[in-house]
Amino acid sequence: MTSAVAAPPATSGKRPVLLLRRINDRLAAELRSRFRVLNFYESSAPLLAFLAAAAAGPDPPLAAVVVAGGAIQVNAAFLDAVPSLGCVVTTGAGVDHIDLAECARRGVAVAGAGTVFSTDVADHAVGLLVDVLRRISASDRYVRRGLWAARGDYPLGSKLSGKHVGIIGLGSIGSLIAKRLQAFGCTISYNSRRPKDSVSYNYFPDVTDLAAASDVLIVACALNDETRHIVDSSVLEALGKDGVVVNIARGGIVDEAELIRALKEGRIAGAGLDVFEKEPDVPAELLSMDNVVLTAHEAVFTTESNWDLADLMIANLEAFFSGGPLLTPVLPK
């Protein structure tokens, strides 16, 4: 039995916006200065009941700001609950949590984060790779436990320069990763839906072939039906016992069970993971592996990118309400 939700009172002047993500105080203040904010996280109601109550009010919301990563799915049921909606602004680079075709069918515009996060995610990917290869986090734990004096030097890591790096997805983020790793003297290859005329990197239409030609495999593509578990047992086998996987995209792109099995059996050398299949739950097996570096889906987050994202979210909302084009529209493929 769901709890009843009171419809929000009518408010003249400010345009109502659904807020379906947690935000910092600065962004909350800026949103409230411009819009009448209907904050899901200030309600005890289930999501669909909250949406229905907002839609039933005398001043139903026309726009929504939603969190990325799958915590809230903007699908037919969501849109049925709040039929007044005309615009969805998501705060992530990925849009696997939004049914773009359904939004397009209903005339609901969608705005994404554009390239706000690209630089930070590319930096984070390189940081994870350096950490795994040079065993920085593991060595830090070794020193902190007093084992350097007791057992001697920590085992050697592996150099980054000269590595053959395969990137799955050469969009905004993948391209920046490639440029950074070129500066380290790495050889870059990539897989994507089609070859990119703007680059000279080796193109592989098949991910298994890409892995076989690589020392490192970096996942930087979108999650969709075609890419789910695209990094599977055959890809990991092709990567080989000295290979490293880095994933800064979405957890579902990598078959997590197969990755754990390959790590445990020594069929690949290590992994740097910022994303997981069932966040925030991380498989216990990964926690005990010194050849795995884990971060909490934080590649996108820096102080600077948070401010840039806040400005972009507000600009997209203002554009929608003024009848202008969205700054960072997302269209169905």
CATH architecture of the domain with range 15-112+303-322: 3-Layer(aba) Sandwich (3.40)
* Catalytic, out of 21, 124, 135, 297: 297
pLDDT at res. 73: 94
The model's confidence at residue 92, banded by pLDDT at 50, 70 and 90, is confident
Catalytic residue from among 30, 102, 237, 279: 279
Residue with the larger pLDDT of the pair 101 and 95? 101
Q: Indicate the range of 58-72, 104-118, 202-216, 275-289 predicted with least confidence.
A: 58-72
pLDDT at 10: 41
3-state SS, one letter per residue, for the chain? CCCCCCCCCCCCCCEEEEEECCCCHHHHHHHHHHEEEEEHHHCCCCHHHHHHHHHHCCCCCCEEEECCCCCCCECHHHHHHCCCCCEEEECCCCCCCECHHHHHHHCCEEECCCCCCHHHHHHHHHHHHHHHHHCHHHHHHHHHCCHHHHHCCCCCCCCCCCCEEEEECCCHHHHHHHHHHHHCCCEEEEECCCCCCCCCCEECCCHHHHHHCCCEEEECCCCCCCCCCCECHHHHHHHCCCCEEEECCCHHHECHHHHHHHHHCCCCCEEEECCCCECCECCHHHHCCCCEEECCCCCCCCHHHHHHHHHHHHHHHHHHHHCCCCCCECCCC
pLDDT tens for residues 281-300?
999 999 999 999 999 999 99
| pTM of the complete model | 0.87
> What are the residue ranges of CATH 3.40.50.720 in the chain?
15-112+303-322, 118-294
Residue 333 pLDDT grade (very low, low, confident, very high; cuts 50, 70, 90): low
pLDDT score recorded for residue 165: 98
Mean pLDDT computed over 213-233:
96
- Between 293 and 13, whose confidence is greater? 293
Inform me whether the pLDDT recorded for 200 exceeds 60: yes
The per-residue pLDDT for 301 is 87
Could you confirm whether 229 is annotated as catalytic? no
**For the structural domain made of 118-294, what CATH number should be given?**
3.40.50.720
Place 28 in a pLDDT band, splitting at 50, 70 and 90.
confident
**Active-site residue, 15 included:** no
Q: What is the mean pLDDT of the chain?
A: 93
Residue 267 is a catalytic residue? no
Which among 36, 124, 250, 277 is annotated as catalytic? 250
pLDDT at 4: 40
The answer to whether residue 178 scores a pLDDT higher than 50 is yes
Which pLDDT does position 8 carry in this prediction? 41
pLDDT in tens, 121-147: 999 999 999 999 999 999 999 999 999
